[in-house]
Amino acid sequence: MDLGLKGGRALVTGGTKGIGRAIADCFAGEGAAVAICARNPAEVTEAVAALRGTGMAAFGQALDVSDGLALQGFVTAAAEALGGLDMIVSNVSALAISGDEAAWRAGFETDLLGAVRLVEAAMPHLERSDAASITFISSVSGREIDFAAGPYGAMKAALIHYAQGLAFQLAGKGIRANTVSPGNTYFPGGVWERIETGNPDLFAKAMALNPTGRMGRPEEMARPTVFLASPAASFVTGTNLVVDGALTRGVQL
């Protein structure tokens, strides 16, 4: 299937590792120019070089998405570097699991307010696009109560509500908004690798819940995300796509 991404311009926050990196790579592989950001400058430099190695234009900047001014500046610079923006993917999370006030603040500032600020900064560029889309990376923890109940789950659930509101509000402008809710996703340097070594009991319990007998891979989350963001999904808006290998049991109505 041709996703219609050749010549497109995509922006991915948290695009240097894990799901975000896989999304950026997938966009480039489909012929889209890509802008990424992350907090580690060296990792941003490496990722941009790899993306350019595919023959596609790429731009990157190191920043913390909870810094509103820095995020605004990045979006503006990315649009200038790529000649506009068609698709934005909000992928960054504070991974705030504990229930203390600091975790709630981190989750709000990064997961939720970071996403809101990204949309607001990108909106003038999306309004000029013929195939604009907004995609948020949520989580199955936003659908069901699990060990991440608290700030992480609450913010991921809020992203789903926010996206569906945007889908309705922006439909008349031809701008789509969706969420993707990954299940457990394992990759080197990721949260599940850290849990595997630091909390083997929790890791074993999590693995036992996966009926496929394994966790997902970043590229398995990236492909459906890029499809949702692409013109091939032109009539899909306001949906939450669960990609979890049958991990969750709830019926999504």
Catalytic amino acids?
138-139, 152, 156
Q: How far apart are CA 112 and CA 92, in angstroms?
A: 10
Residue at 80: amino acid letter: E
Q: How far apart are CA 81 and CA 104, in angstroms?
A: 35
Q: Distances from the Cα of 18 to the Cαs of 71, 126, 184, in angstroms?
A: 21, 26, 12
Q: 37 has which bridge partners?
A: 13, 61
Q: How far apart are CA 100 and CA 134, in angstroms?
A: 31
Q: How far apart are CA 175 and CA 171, in angstroms?
A: 6
- Burial grade of 31 (CB within 10 A; 0-12, 13-18, 19 or more): middle
Considering only CA atoms, which of 20, 23, 15, 40 is closest in space to residue 229?
23
Longest Cα–Cα distance of the chain, Å, equals: 50
